[in-house]
């Protein structure tokens, strides 16, 4: 498997000093996970396109935009223009994502699908071949700082088996409650991209926390 990727979630960053927070973790991480919430698909509002374009000049990290929105295909050109590199959309918001995946690619965006803890693997499996990544929520979407739901690991295992059998290069991402304790379990189940908000940006020393998380998943 390729190098494991860490994607700190901006939701847990200190918004008074985003530049300092992002540049501090940059050498230790791979992607920046950006949670876009609309207050409708999830009961919370976070940030959107102006914040993405505002922070774009600060870093070369891949902007991994997790769209927790009711119409996730509505702003793809604007997201691409703002500097997003990939978008993930919830299967619960878009049961047939075929056209949305094509539209994302037309706009130069990598495309991914997300499923909530209660959504079965079968809801996304027909679309894995049109996805660059699949994201399994290990908490209910909408808020940081919740506890990891270990029952989600069975779906991660199913997805890993699915992509290996078909020799696909699909990234398998997990999001929610990732800590030094839970991250190795997610990797053992087959995840290769780990989102971590509280564990990285919520720490006193975010780059040190990211390095510690990497040691935990690489078994060093
Ligand atoms: C929740 C978001 C997560 C969140 C993770 O809806 O999708 O990305 O920021 O936060 P932690 O790592 O604190 O569970
Ligand atoms: Zn997220």
Question: Ligand 2 centroid vs 149 CA: distance in angstroms?
Answer: 15
Mean pLDDT of 14-35: 98
* pLDDT computed for residue 1 by the predictor: 59
Residue 35 among the catalytic residues: yes
Q: Would the CB of 190 count as within 6 Å of ligand 1?
A: no
* pLDDT computed for residue 3 by the predictor: 82
Answer yes or no: are the C-beta atoms of 213 and 6 closer than 8 Å.
yes
How confident is the model over 168-219, as pLDDT tens digits?
999 999 999 999 999 999 999 999 999 999 999 999 999 999 999 999 999 8
- Which member of 14, 30, 35, 85 is catalytic? 35
Mean pLDDT taken over the chain: 97
Q: Using a pLDDT cut of 90, give the percent of the chain over it.
A: 98
- What domains does the chain contain, in order, with CATH numbers? 5-218 (3.20.20.70)
How confident is the model over 64-115, as pLDDT tens digits?
999 999 999 999 999 999 999 999 999 999 999 999 999 999 999 999 999 9
| Helix, strand, coil % in the chain, rounded to nearest 5 | 40, 20, 40
């Amino acid at each position: 498997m390729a190098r494991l990727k860490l994607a700190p979630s901006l939701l847990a960053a200190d918004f008074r000093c985003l530049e300092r927070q992002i540049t501090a973790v940059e050498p230790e991480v791979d992607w920046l996970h950006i949670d876009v919430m609309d207050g409708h698909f999830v009961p919370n509002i976070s940030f959107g396109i102006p914040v993405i374009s505002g922070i774009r000049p600060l870093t070369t990290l891949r902007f991994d935009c997790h769209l927790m929105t009711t119409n996730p295909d509505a702003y793809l050109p604007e997201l691409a223009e703002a500097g997003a590199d990939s978008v993930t959309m919830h299967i619960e918001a878009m049961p047939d994502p075929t056209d949305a995946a094509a539209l994302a690619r037309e706009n130069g965006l990598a495309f991914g699908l997300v499923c909530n803890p209660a959504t079965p693997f079968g809801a996304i499996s027909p679309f894995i071949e049109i996805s660059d990544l699949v994201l399994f929520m290990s908490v209910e979407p909408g808020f940081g700082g919740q506890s990891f739901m270990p029952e989600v690991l069975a779906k991660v295992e199913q997805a890993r088996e699915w992509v290996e059998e078909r020799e696909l290069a699909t990234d398998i991402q997990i999001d929610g409650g990732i800590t030094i304790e839970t991250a190795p379990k997610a990797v053992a189940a087959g995840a290769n991209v780990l989102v971590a908000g509280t564990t990285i940006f919520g720490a006193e020393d975010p780059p040190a926390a990211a390095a510690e998380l990497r040691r935990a998943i690489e078994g060093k």
